[in-house]
Structure 1
């Protein structure tokens, strides 16, 4: 799998912004078949930074219910929390 296929998109929220400032961590939505080594290589190739650690979280697909009935599906996805080396940073919004 290529680096551009592994990293689907960065996750930008209040929580991930605080993680980026305090712990030098960045969150990505990744391909469900990717593992920690694939994500580490992809981040290092695409952004040119040193990666210290990668933590993965998998969310399983589930059925959303309302009043005991199936009301819709929530797709499963996989997130990766990437810890960058001290002094390294990734800027998603340049010039803003």
Structure 2
């Protein structure tokens, strides 16, 4: 089971990573904070100070088309925000 699915790369999270050493990840929905901390430390070789998580509910949409009403939803995800020890950083762009 892979705990870390992908990093979150948005303007808000990038600004937090530059100013506060705080990085965001999309993680497995069943993972807890201890598992997330161990996975990030193993994957990036850094020391994690704290982990904050949030469950994001699915968004429901409805579209009116010629064939009628079409409804759908996005997947529910879990986000984890990891505070890294002062002086350490994660570089997501080195493999591009």
TM-score, length-normalised on structure 1?
0.86
- Say how many residue pairs are matched: 92
56-65 vs 16-25, greater mean Cα deviation: 56-65
8-17 vs 54-63, greater mean Cα deviation: 54-63
Q: CA deviation at 1:31?
A: 0.3
Separation in 2, partners of 1:95, 1:39: 22
Give the structure 2 partner of residue 28 of structure 1.
25
Q: Secondary structure at the match of 1:46?
A: helix
Separation in 2, partners of 1:60, 1:95: 31
Q: 1:56 aligns with which of 53, 56, 75?
A: 53
Tell me whether 1:39 sits opposite 2:36 in the alignment: yes
Q: Which residues of 2 match residues 1-96 of structure 1 at below 5 A?
A: 1=1, 5-66=2-63, 71-94=71-94
Root-mean-square deviation (CA, aligned residues, Å) is: 1.8
- Seen in structure 2, the aligned counterparts of structure 1 residues 23 and 63 have a Cα distance that, compared at 3 Å, is same
Give unmatched runs, 5+ long, in structure 2: none
Give unmatched runs, 5+ long, in structure 1: none
